[in-house]
Every structure is written in structure tokens, then in C-alpha cells.
Structure 1
Amino acid sequence: MNKTSILFLLIAILFSCSKNKDNLSKHSTGKINSISIVIDNQLWNGVVGDSIRNKFASPVEGLPKEEPIFDINQYPTDVMEGFVTKSRVIIVVKKGAENHFSVQKNQYASPQNVFHITGESVTALLELIEKHTPSIIRTIKKGEIEAHEELLKDSVVVSNTIQKQFQLDLKVPKSYSYSIKNDNFVWLKKEFSSGSTSILVTQFPMKSFRLRGDVLSRIIKIQDSIGATYIKGTTHDSNMYVDTSYPLYLFKTNLAGKMAYETKGTWRLKNSFMFGPFISYLIVDYRKQRIIYLEGFCYVPSQERRDYMHELESILKGVKISEEK
């Protein structure tokens, strides 16, 4: 390699590094659960656009009323500049000489995920979208939880009560206050003009919960027991319970480094018109031989609930467990 070639190579490397640093200095923008789709209008108005809408605007699991997973904003490829490149999530779909899928992190700003889907034909694009949608959605959801945690970070405090009683570090926004606080149960609540959001924390010995068989029915019993004991209406026979007439979703997951079960569904207040969605985490702590139970639920009758539940999920997923005995 001659000196001129080496010089050009060094200039290219320096330019690339400078560009990457510049991108990292640009902070991405956009509402939580909002994605930008960059695609020509002709593709967007045909079967490719239909496929994208069906997958990325499909209903959120666990909400009593249908709401889309993501809010979609579509832009033609010739406007791929300016504010569009600052979006936290961008999906670029186009026809090209070969079939290709890639993910580029922080391509134009940070934090950011840019998904590139290129197909030789409409059929190829549909196949690529079908194949990669599950991984794209997982990546977006993870990024949106992190974005919501970042959004909340300046307004949260570690609850000393929860830390002392349950050996848990749970960062809760300062807007929450204690509705109930006793030796083995905490109910934190945030009230606002259109409703409220709540966080429940409790624990019990592992030997009292069977981890095999029908785990979902036993989680429902836990929730109904908590509702019967603590979450009451205005009359003596009114309490919170899981409304099994709505779909229930159970996922085995990992939280705070422990095996856990995530449950989503709908709660209802007996003999009342009050109802709404919930998300719960049952965490198996083998080290301390206990089950940790966390739940978030909201009551916002006049508004969509997706983003309220997303905030609760972000708070609960930030939990850390002390390993001290």
C-alpha cells in the first residue's frame, strides 16, 4: 500500500470516528412507544404497508380495550433527514438489488435503533418483515423500557420502607405516596385528575407456593387475596379481583437476576363500575426461600391506558434484590 492510499484510509477512519461521535452527541427524541417508518408511499399504501400496520400496531396484550403496541409515523424515503433521523426507533423499508436485514444502533442519534429491511420484490419484503418482526418488537420494547427509565430517573427515589422491609431496591417516582404500609405489604399510589396508578409489594415463604402445574391460577388467587384484604371499594362487599372474562397472559421471564412470572390482565372492583389493566411479577428468590410479588395497576377511565401501564412496567422492571441474608 502506497503513502497516498494510507493517507486516504486514515482520513476515512478519522471521518468515520468523528461522525460516530457526532451522532452520539445528538440525543434522540420522540414519544414513548412511537416509531418512525421510512417507506415510499406506493409500498406503504399496498400490502407491505398493511403488513407493517398489522404487526406494529397490533393490540397490546392485557388491556381491557384495544390500543396499538406502537404509534406509527410514516415518512417517504426522500425525507430521511432532519427530525426524522432523531427518532429513537426508525424502520427503513425499501426495494433494492438484494434481500437484506440489519440493525444499526445510534446511526443518527443516541439512544437509537435503526432497522433496515431491503427486498428485491414485494414478496421478498413481506417475507423479511414476517421473519424479523418478533426480534424487532423485542428490541424496540427493551429500548422503550430503558427510555422510560431514563425519563423517570430525575424524579425517582429508592423507597427506604421497601428496602428495609423487603430487601429490595425499587425506584419509585416522588409523585407516589403510601396508601397502605404494614410489616409485609405496601401499596403506593399516585393520584391525578383523570385517575390513579398503583404499585403493590409483598412477599411470602416459597414453601407456600407451588411452582409446578397451573401457576396462573395460583397467581390469580394471590391477587384476589390481596384485593380482598387491602383493595376495597366504598361498601363492605366491594373489593378488587382478577376479571377472568378478559384474556390473561402469563410469561416466564427473568427479573433482577431471578426466575419470574409476568402476568397481564384486567382487574375489577366487585359491585362497582371500576376496572382497568394490571401487570404483576412473581419473583422466585431461592437464596432467601421466598416469593416476591410486585404489581402495578391503573384506573384511568377517560384515557387510553397503554402508556400508564408502560410506566408501571418500567418501574417494576427496575427492581434490584439485595443478596444479603
Structure 2
Amino acid sequence: MKKIVCSLFLLMALMLTACNSGPVVTRATGFAYEVVVVMDKNYWEGTAGDAVKGQLTSPVPGLPQAEPSMKVSYSQPSDFNGLLTYVRNILLVDINPNIYTKTTLASEENRWAFGQLVLTLKAPSPEVLIEYLEQHPNQITDLFVKEEMKRATEQMEETYSSVVMDVLKKNHQLSLNVPEEMVYYKDTTDFFWTTNNASTGRMDVVVYTFPYTDPNTFTPEYLVAKRDSVMKANLPGAFPGSYMATETKYFDVDYSAITVHDKYCGVMRGLWKMVGDMMGGPFVAHVRLDEKNQRVVVAEGFVYAPETDKRNFIRRIEAALYTLRLPGEYDVPEEKTK
């Protein structure tokens, strides 16, 4: 009997050893846009720590009120073990004049858990670290945000509203993965609208198209004017004469260019308002050229959440915009359903 028990313990030990030496199988924990910073306490409570926190908590662009880009938790190196190593976003900061001569930033995925991003920041002194962060504003935050966008996009590629997908493919020759709870919609010739119709944290997505005639189409001035005309015609408010418009008097609309599916994509973000009503909130839009049909395609998400923070809502809907595919980009049949 003793031999059997010993053999069982030996087998369990071998299995644990094999698991520990094999590939990472534990899934990362924690919520989106949260990060654990591991750093010596003396530096964390000094100017270097302030600089790190300042970058991670920098305001999210395009929101009506300031909200931090990341929620930050702290751990001393000696306490960083166990479940903390499974957190999805981790920043390791090591300041050591005896080892480093310059500041470096490295990234590693799935170090301790699957679906994890670990950034390691090394510097010879607090002063050099601060100088590096000043020269690379938002670099660390952008890496974490990009990874969170990637996670959300991948999730929506698997679980999405089949109602929206089917209508857009059939009537507009477009493919778009939006959150699965978006099943209410309105569809016209060149305009599509869907919403989750939530009482808290309402998210809406619109897709509209218009003929491409001029390269000046891809300018913020033209796109804001086009947006206002389309929204006024298609999204009336609850009161007579009320309609959606872009807030330009007190808030600048930001426009930048990125690459999506190896093609140009304009990104427009700002605030929307209801003329004749008290509603408003943030919006973000992707603007692309459908060369096959010589039309401009605008996919926009906007949020109405006056009672709570809007960061995670607008970022979730922005992640959906990255799934927009034009004719010729979604030829592979999609079997997933909501």
C-alpha cells in the first residue's frame, strides 16, 4: 500500500513539473485597461513613480470629462508573486545604475499567463527614466491600449451580432463585427444604424456611404460637414426639431490617419450633441475608401452614458470598427454567430 501511495505522489510531482516546464496554460486575469506596476517603493513614491503614473493615467482623448487611460495598481518587487503574475497588463520598472547605461523598453506576451502583455522598463537613474518618458509621451500607455484593442477585436471576431452582420453584407456589401447585444437596427439605402438600447452605457453604431469624387473628402472639415448632414437626416431626436450634430464650438474634432487591412483609414473622434435636447457624448469613426464601388465608407460608434465613465464603452465600440471589411476583404465564409 505504501508503495502505491508513494507512486501516486511521484506521478503527481512529475505531472506538476511537466506543467511548469511546458507552455503557459493559465489565462490572464484582471479587467480591461487595468495595469499592475512593479517598482521599488522608494522610486515609486518619488519623481520617477510620478512620471510613470502620469503617463499611464493620462486623459483618454475625445471624452467630455477627463478619464485616465489606465487604472493603476502597485506592487513592490518582493510582493510580486502568485496571482499577481497572472494579471493581463504588467509594467516592470527596474532602476539600477550598476547594470544599465540607458533606458530601454521591452515587451513580452504570455510571460506568465496566456493573453498577457508584460512591459519591462529599465533605466540607470530616475532622472534618465523621466527624460525618456518625456521624450516618448504615451508610449507605454499606447502599447497597453493597442493590446486591449487587439483583445477586444479578437473577441468580437468570435462573438458578435449576426443580425448586423447579415444585414450589412446583404444590403451594403460590408462586413462588421459589433457587440452581440446590438440587435435593434434601422436600414436605408446608404445609412445603417444599430444600438444595444441599454439603459446604462448605451452604445450605437452607424455605417453610411457616399460617392467618392475628391481627395479632399479625407479632411476633418469635409467629414464633419458630411457627418452633420447625414446624422440630421437620419437620427432625429426625441423632441420635434431635435437632431444629432457634431460639437465643434467647445471641443475640437481630432483627425488622424492609420492603416487598416494594409489600406488608408481616417480616424475621426470628438463629441456629439443633440440640438434641441440635452443629450451628448463621445464618438469615434473610421473612414475608408471602397475602391471597387468608388464610395467612401464611414463606420462610427458613439456612446451615451451620462451617469458613468465612458472610457471602456467608447474603446469597446472603437475595437469593433477595426473589424470593418470592404468588398474583397471578407471573401472567407464566416460561420460564427452571435
The TM-score by the shorter chain falls in which range? 0.7 to 0.9
Cα pair 1:101 1:128 within 8 Å, conserved: no
- The equivalent of 2:23 in structure 1 is 22
Name which of 159, 162, 166 aligns with 2:168.
Answer: 162
Q: Map residues 22-41 of structure 1 onto 2, 5 A cutoff.
A: 22-23=23-24, 25-41=25-41
- The equivalent of 2:261 in structure 1 is 256
Between the aligned partners of 1:174 and 1:165, the Cα distance in structure 2 is 19
Q: CA deviation at 1:275?
A: 0.6
Question: Larger % of strand: which?
Answer: 1
Query: Secondary structure of 1:107's match?
Result: coil
Query: Secondary structure of 1:311's match?
Result: helix
Q: Map residues 262-281 of structure 1 onto 2, 5 A cutoff.
A: 262-281=267-286
Q: 1:80 to 1:129 in 2, by over 3 A?
A: farther
- The equivalent of 1:222 in structure 2 is 226
Name which of 166, 185, 193 aligns with 2:191.
Answer: 185
- Comparing 258-267 and 148-157, the one that deviates more: 148-157
Q: In structure 1, give the amino acid aligned to 2:93.
A: V
- Comparing 281-290 and 181-190, the one that deviates more: 281-290
Q: CA deviation at 1:277?
A: 0.3
Cα pair 1:264 1:278 within 8 Å, conserved: yes
Name which of 290, 301, 307 aligns with 2:295.
Answer: 290
Q: 1:86 to 1:131 in 2, by over 3 A?
A: farther
Between the aligned partners of 2:135 and 2:22, the Cα distance in structure 1 is 33
Q: Map residues 110-129 of structure 1 onto 2, 5 A cutoff.
A: 110-129=114-133
Query: Secondary structure of 1:240's match?
Result: strand
Percent identity among equivalent residues?
Answer: 24
Query: Secondary structure of 1:252's match?
Result: strand
Q: In structure 2, give the amino acid aligned to 1:180.
A: K
Q: 1:124 to 1:155 in 2, by over 3 A?
A: same
- The equivalent of 1:10 in structure 2 is none
Q: CA deviation at 1:132?
A: 5.0
Cα pair 1:32 1:147 within 8 Å, conserved: no
Q: CA deviation at 1:68?
A: 0.7
Q: In structure 2, give the amino acid aligned to 1:228.
A: K
Name which of 109, 113, 121 aligns with 2:113.
Answer: 109
Cα pair 1:32 1:148 within 8 Å, conserved: no
Q: 1:19 to 1:206 in 2, by over 3 A?
A: farther
Provide, for residues 178-229 of structure 1, a one-character-per-residue CA deviation record: whole Å limited to 9, x for no partner: 332112211001122225210001111111xx33388101111121012211
Provide, for residues 22-77 of structure 1, a one-character-per-residue CA deviation record: whole Å limited to 9, x for no partner: 32x12112111111111122111111111112211011110011101111111111
- Comparing 43-52 and 128-137, the one that deviates more: 128-137
Cα pair 2:247 2:272 within 8 Å, conserved: yes
Query: Secondary structure of 2:197's match?
Result: strand
Between the aligned partners of 2:235 and 2:53, the Cα distance in structure 1 is 39
Instruction: Compute the RMSD of aligned alpha carbons.
Output: 2.3
Q: 1:155 to 1:214 in 2, by over 3 A?
A: closer
- The equivalent of 2:241 in structure 1 is 237
Provide, for residues 254-313 of structure 1, a one-character-per-residue CA deviation record: whole Å limited to 9, x for no partner: 223321110110000002111100001111122331110111001111011010101101
Give unpaired runs (5+ residues) of structure 1: 1-16
The normalised TM-score by structure 2 is: 0.84
- The equivalent of 2:202 in structure 1 is 196
